[in-house]
Structure 1
Amino acid sequence: MSSTYVIIGAGLAGAKAAEALRDKGFDGRVVLLGDEHHRPYERPPLSKGILTGKAERESAFVHPESWYSDHDVDLRLGTRVTAVDRTAREVVLADGSRVGYAKLLLATGAEPRVLPGAENTVRLRRFGDTERLRQVLETGSKLAVVGAGWIGLEVASAARQAGLDVVVLEALELPLLPALGREAARVFADLHREHGVDLRLGVRVAEAGPDHVRLGDGERIDADAVLVGIGAVPNTALAEGAGLTVENGIQVDAHLHTSDPDIFAAGDVANAYHPSLGRHLRVEHWASALKQPAVAAAGMLGLEAVYDELPYFYTDQYDLGMEYTGLSDGYDRVVFRGDVEAREFIAFWLKDGKVVAGMNVNVWDVTDPIKDLIRSASTVDSARLADPSVPLTEVGAG
């Protein structure tokens, strides 16, 4: 049997999987296949530091260029995989060649959702997208953003700080509504309006082109560029073609095994069973791509490992920095601790008296106690939870 371990997808998840295999002592062949021409890089800087010019592009790369040869990783860039042949245990490349595998990891990520008829607008996923947007920020005067999700709001923030007029168009009644709910979503609506964003909520986009957006009521909005940020779609075509179980991503267990015991999935594409939450969960955020690969690598080596990290993500917009931990869907109450008006607070989402998620805004070094509160699954005293004088480690019932 081949001692080759193949990783499809040369992004953060793929690079960290190759690193984990070597760190765990695998001395066989590692082949890392990516369709981009850049070595693996992290994507959050694309809408943060690199876009604003506060960080150099080099800072986004996962490893130095020499790391791959130094660790005997066969990194093949500009290489597209067209199929996975499970019977032959081979992956098929666009040029017709094949690479055999003993174990296979699918780290194929996700692609921005396309607004029908808006193929020539900007979508932010790759280095080239950021370079295009930076040019707009440096030379343009107006940016239109379709979608008030994390990407859209981060780009809006960067554009306003660069001096552009910005209009953000969102179909829902508040930005980030599915992620945060009404109580906390209002914080971000107020934030952007205070910084001069023309935030239009509850609107329908009928047409979008490279330099304009037309609304459902016929109004045309002209701009130097149009960014569409309406979510992402997991890249499951290879998994589907191979007959793996696919449902909102590639379905995997807590060990990141797919329905084929020799194939694993990690990162944005993986819909993983979370043992603490008791459900499958696909999280399109940096933390999953960073931490899931070590679990997948362990499984590929026959070691026992479980992925049970709580969902985590962060954002920087204007002078607001935020970390979010947990999962707020199904909550029945939000408790705030601190000064919401000054945007220095922690928000807690509760369900049946238990903390299920927490968001710290311009308050730092509290992620671990927030995680502990969620994992404890214990009923909390809301008054103590809201009282900044009570340490989070001492919040309890009664």
Structure 2
Amino acid sequence: MSTDNLDPLSKAIRIQTPRTQQQEHSTPLYLTSSFIFEEAEAMRAAFADETDDNIYSRFSNPNVDEFIAKMCALENAEAGFATSTGMSAIFSSMFALLGQGDHLLCCSSVFGSTFTVVTKYLPKYGITCTLVPANDKEAWEAAVQPNTKMVYLETPTNPQLEIIDLEWAGQFSKKYNLILNVDNCFATPLLQRPTDFGADLVVHSATKWIDGQGRVMGGVIVGREDLVKEIYLFCRNTGPALSPFNAWVLSKSLETLDVRMQRHCENALKVAETLQSHPNVSWVKYPFLPTHPQYEIAKKQMTLGGGVLCFEIKGGLEAGRKFLDHLQMLSVTANLGDARSIASHPASTTHSKLTDEQRTAVGITPGLIRISTGLEKVDDIITDIVQALEKSAN
């Protein structure tokens, strides 16, 4: 069956590796490290890139290829490569395309490990980076240098949920002939498609919403075919490959991504609305709350507000830790995008290696709590958060 004329959501369900003689309905696992050739000429042609035959699962496997094809359909991208983790996708998308003497423009509000990569590790190879406040357009303009090659950003950002105008980002990158590289992990391609606004690359930690149940790790890079080709060659030789089993899990997960994200977003909005009036909460931030500073931008480029919200608990660092200790249902873990609701305290965990000044600069306050809203009944989620808030204030 051809999937060419299907909606991307249907493609995420119906794209499938060609069936074997067993006529299986669900794609089987291809747990093999290598693939055989019937003759020397076929093997030569495969290594010469004259055919699409599988060679070695470090860079070519039917399960991985199926997952990539689905992600390309969802993100409206020409090509892709899947990696072992989200961070390997982020690093590879930068390191494969940047070289000594190049300059990177990076949103200052990014995941803690991404911050470390661009400020500590890329400079070791002669790649400089300027961190720019998410929504300071004048600062972005002023930061462009003659050797600037790439723009990297998250939207919504982690964990402050700032929204960057992707239409503006696309125009800005095109104006200066820069590669626009967007981390779309928080929104997923179900809520926004950066390629529609001019993004050249889109990266995901598939460990999060794509998997959706906290089972496996994975990452993926999709985008322009010429750029992905360079990333493929880099990853083929350095080895940050996604395993066939994890790819199989992630491909199956995409079949339910649409219905899962609808419930995640519905629950997150209700939780955010409830917390707005709680006496122990200073502020709440969620992209689809009218009080969000970039609410209009979020409504323009996102179909729903996502499954993550954050708020400031009164009492600072100590209150934030006490809040986590008093939770009874929500999980306290270093992840998000799970069927189970998760609470985290960035100042003491994911962004703890930043200095106080660096955390302040990106809006990570001592009492900031990030909630990844799961699929439980929303009343149960709210009840647990409220009782923990009340106990943490004592």
TM-score normalised by structure 1 residue count = 0.31
TM-score scaled by length of structure 2: 0.31
Between Structure 1 and Structure 2, the one with more strand by share is 1
Which structure carries more helix by proportion?
2
Higher relative contact order structure (alpha carbons within 8 Å, sequence separation ≥ 6): 2
